[in-house]
């Protein structure tokens, strides 16, 4: 079995609909790379898109995937972090070191 190396993509998103959509598509692609199931990845994509649209100002989005997880960090100037965290609360988002942090792990397969 071969192991995927870690991949990181950084995107600066304008908070317009177009910027939020680009950021959301990056999240979807990186979630697929990490092996996140399609429905969970699409839900995450939609929630990130909505959070980015609600942000006030430019947002930096960093996605890091490895063989079984995806880590998303979102940084934004000003008071926007709490709003971003709230929008992503369904994904156990937290604020850490001045960024919103979301960690998603692939659900392991179980023998039946």
Query: Domain containing 92 — which CATH number?
Result: 3.30.565.10
| Joined tokens for residue 44 | 């995450």
89 three-state secondary structure: helix
In a domain, 97, yes or no: yes
In a domain, 110, yes or no: no
H helix intervals, the chain: 17-33, 38-54, 80-87
Which tens digit of pLDDT belongs to each residue from 43-89?
Answer: 999 999 999 988 878 899 999 998 889 999 999 876 778 889 999 99
What's the rounded mean pLDDT across residues 13-17? 75
In a domain, 71, yes or no: yes
Q: Can you give the pLDDT at residue 6?
A: 84
In a domain, 112, yes or no: no
In a domain, 88, yes or no: yes
Average predicted confidence (pLDDT) for the chain? 88
| Joined tokens for residue 7 | 């991949």
Q: pTM value?
A: 0.87
Q: Is-contact 51 92, C-beta < 8 A?
A: no
If one counts the domains in the chain, the total is 1
81 is in which domain, residue-wise? 7-105
| Joined tokens for residue 79 | 């008071």
Q: Can you give the pLDDT at residue 47?
A: 96
Which tens digit of pLDDT belongs to each residue from 77-111?
Answer: 767 788 899 999 999 999 999 899 999 998 776 67
- Across the beta sheet with 7-13, the strand order is 7-13, 59-65, 69-75, 99-105, 94-96
């Amino acid at each position: 079995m071969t192991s995927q190396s870690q991949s990181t993509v950084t995107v600066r998103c304008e908070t317009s609909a177009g910027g939020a959509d680009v950021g959301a598509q990056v999240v979807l692609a990186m979630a697929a790379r990490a092996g996140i199931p399609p429905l969970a990845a699409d839900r995450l994509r939609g929630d990130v898109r909505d959070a980015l649209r609600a942000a006030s100002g430019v947002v930096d989005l960093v996605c890091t995937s490895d063989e079984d997880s995806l880590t998303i960090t979102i940084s934004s100037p000003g008071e926007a972090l709490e709003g971003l965290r709230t929008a992503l609360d369904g994904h156990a988002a937290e604020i850490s070191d001045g960024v919103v942090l979301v960690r998603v792990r692939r659900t392991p397969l179980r023998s039946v």
